[in-house]
Structure 1
Amino acid sequence: MADPTGERVPTVIVDDAHVVYKVHGSPASGTGSPIASLKRIVTRTKMANIREVHAIKGVSFVAYKGEAVGLVGSNGSGKSTLLRAIAGLMPAERGAVYAAGQPSLLGVNAVLMNDLSGERNVLLGCLAMGMSPAEAKAKVKEIVDFSGINERGEFSTMPMRTYSSGMAARLRFSISAAKKHDVLLIDEALATGDARFRRRSEQRIRDLRADAGTVFLVSHSEGTIKDTCERSIWLESGVIRADGPTEDVLKEYGAYMSK
């Protein structure tokens, strides 16, 4: 999407970003004791069972207002790590990541409170996104209806712990999509929805783009990527292998995966 001068407006800039995180294994016998921990602090030594994972390796790209960008790649390729870096949840060890506003990350593990009802979670989620109490209250029915959790009973009044994983995922997406976002990051959150919900979700993503938002979508469903993203980035082993029109990128990725 362009500004009044006709220039496209960048919302996310990733400049030669490297993201490294640590993986902690189970402590070896005796290494997890308080005395051993104090000794490591005094001597400034690391536990032998900690290893570093270089998940993102020199990634660079620019995303613009009104774009929906698909992220594809095999398991462990760095897609979720890249989204977390854009959201500001994982710092770049080298290079830089810039984003407009506060990017919102929506993933399958987004936290909702299991002991509260779906309606109460919707209300709290809206308040957390900055809506006034009156705005949040007015949005509850619309969000519940969009999620479809009441299609087989009044689940919206029941505790979240009674929901299936699919129902919970649909509610998470519905809460997040009820607000305009400068940058919305979606990590496999549509994978558990049925066909009707996926159609509603895809239309909502198009609406967000029309409101000058930028959407990043990680999905193993090529159909969803094709239907919602005109541009895709193929990430493999932390490196960009292709960046361009979705149809072209998916062809390259498909050829690679079929080898």
Structure 2
Amino acid sequence: MSWITRTRQQLTGFLAKRDTPENLWTKCKNCGAMVYTKEWEDNDHVCPRCDHHDRIGGRARFAQLFDGDYRLLAAPRVAEDPLKFKDQKRYVDRLKAARAQTGEQDAMLCADGTITGHRAVVGVQDFAFMGGSMGMSVGETFLSGVDAALAAKCPFIMFTAAGGARMQEGILSLMQMPRTTVGIQMLKDAGLPYIVVLTDPTTGGVTASYAMLGDIQIAEPNALIGFAGQRVIEQTIREKLPEGFQRAEYLLEHGMLDMVVHRRDLKPTLGQLIGLLMARRLAA
């Protein structure tokens, strides 16, 4: 064995023992800046260079919003692959891959806790799970959040992020649109606030149902919000759409949103809104 080979082996063994984090850096999807992952997380997954709001899942969102401990609501059991759907892959295989990637059973989580001292039930869609698509599990989880809010007599806050209905469940996914709408009406009948925070992206059947039915409509900066895609709309109306069309700031300017709120300000803003709305309910 030559001295070159021995030296290479010694160096390889030394380097292999070094405890180096796998994800030391995070690349911003908007400006391409490389940011220390710790700095990225400390900044609520918002780029400190360009202020881009990255997509986050339920557990990260709960950690940012709730005062401390929270109770994760049990995910309802639903039939998996009721249509035995298969395209390029079997639906069951897509579910397994999404669960392995995210560590969650489906695209929505609900939790019960306090926000600046006010009790609330919060639902969060995770775009990382099959594009946050709305299937039977998402519909049932949404309704379980509504039931929890009704039982606790507190607001229900929904963070949306979805590409629309889940095609692998066909008409069963589309039926979640009226089902969730009925759940929202139950909250209104009980005089409980339903607040929606639209995050990037919120599109399709989710936009056409529970995403746009809030008592107060909030969005994160530059979030993409719409029903059909911009290219589809342009091909249909044969016109060029305005700059920033379907972005949160454009929708705020045209009256479809009540406010656009930076992620760092969401917790105090929601806490203030809950206090005002619940005080009004008690006065009534």
Q: Same fold (TM over 0.5)?
A: no
TM-score range, shorter chain: 0.3 to 0.5
| TM-score, normalised via structure 1 length | 0.35
Larger radius of gyration: 2
Relative to total residues, which structure has the larger strand share, 1 or 2? 1
What is the TM-score with the length of structure 2 in the denominator? 0.33
Higher relative contact order (CA 8 A, sep 6+): 1
Q: Report which of the two has the higher share of helix.
A: 2
